Amino acid sequence: MSRAIVTLSAQTKKDVEQYFNCDRIPIHVVYQGYRSDIFNSNYKYQDSHVLSKYRLNRFLLCVGETRPYKNIRRLIQAFAQLKQLDLDLAIVGKPSKIDTTLTDLPQQLGIQEKVKFLGYVSDADLAVLYRSATAFIFPSLYEGFGIPPLEAMACGCPAIVSQVASLPEVCGDGAYYIDPMDIESITKGIYRVATNLELQKTLRIEGLNRAKWFQNREMFPQIQSILDEHRFVRS
């Protein structure tokens, strides 16, 4: 039997308590940090070269493998309702083998020129994309923590995220929240953030402030302390 359990968020701790019989096992929440040396709001001279490489100008950014729980299908369907916006959708992440027809969806909806599947990109390039995007969107159906929204906020990118699981816990007041099951909610969220400069400014400020709370967090010392605490406890 485990002597202790470590989770990445209080929400995940609640999920473990709800679905597993571990009432007598202590559960510790250890939050993740992020690479502030890479993911920050400091623009660099080479940023424009990165955008040229990916042929991006004004765009909405989504980051994550295209697994079904990432909810990319609903995102594309919602984005298709905003053809009037001068905005592309850039999707970063490895294509999922579970949903092999996802990349066909933009053509079916008549927006194939506005949706770009970038696949894997380096962290350095990703930081540039965060800094340069009109907004970042993360319509996931579930997350135990959610690193991409944190990275986006740290780069000063207005964040639109799902109001589910651990995401409100991580993002706090630094994000605009949507219902990931409701295509209309996703559409309205994109439109409101993309067209409201004052809201973008507020989200940048609040997001940067929220990201600072995670900036210098190191997991290893915390986990080491938990190991030391429980090492000699007999089950």
Please indicate, yes or no, if residue 37 is contained in any of the structural domains. Answer: no
Q: What is the pLDDT at residue 20?
A: 85
Domain match, 180 and 97 both? yes
Q: Per the confidence metrics, is the pTM higher than 0.85?
A: yes
102 and 169, same domain (yes or no): yes
Cβ atoms within 10 Å of 51's Cβ, excluding its own: 18
pLDDT at 63: 96
Task: Answer yes or no: do 66 and 167 share one domain.
Answer: yes
Does one domain contain both 18 and 101? Answer: no
Assess whether 171 and 224 both reside in one domain: no
How confident is the model at residue 30, as a pLDDT?
A: 82
Same domain, 184 and 204: yes
Predicted pLDDT of residue 219: 63
pLDDT in the model for residue 220: 66
In a domain, 58, yes or no: yes
111 and 154 in a single domain? The answer is yes
Domain count, the chain: 2
List average pLDDT for each run of 10 residues in the chain, which is 235 residues long.
81 86 81 89 83 94 92 97 94 86 93 95 96 97 93 97 95 97 97 97 97 78 74 54
Name residue 162's beta-bridge partners. 178
Q: By the 8 A CB rule, do 142 and 15 touch? A: no
User: Is the same domain home to 224 and 165?
Assistant: no
Does 112 lie in the same domain as 71?
yes
Q: What is the pLDDT at residue 18?
A: 84
Residue 138, pLDDT score: 97
Both 179 and 71 in one domain: the answer is: yes
Q: By residue range, what is the domain housing residue 9?
A: 5-31+217-230
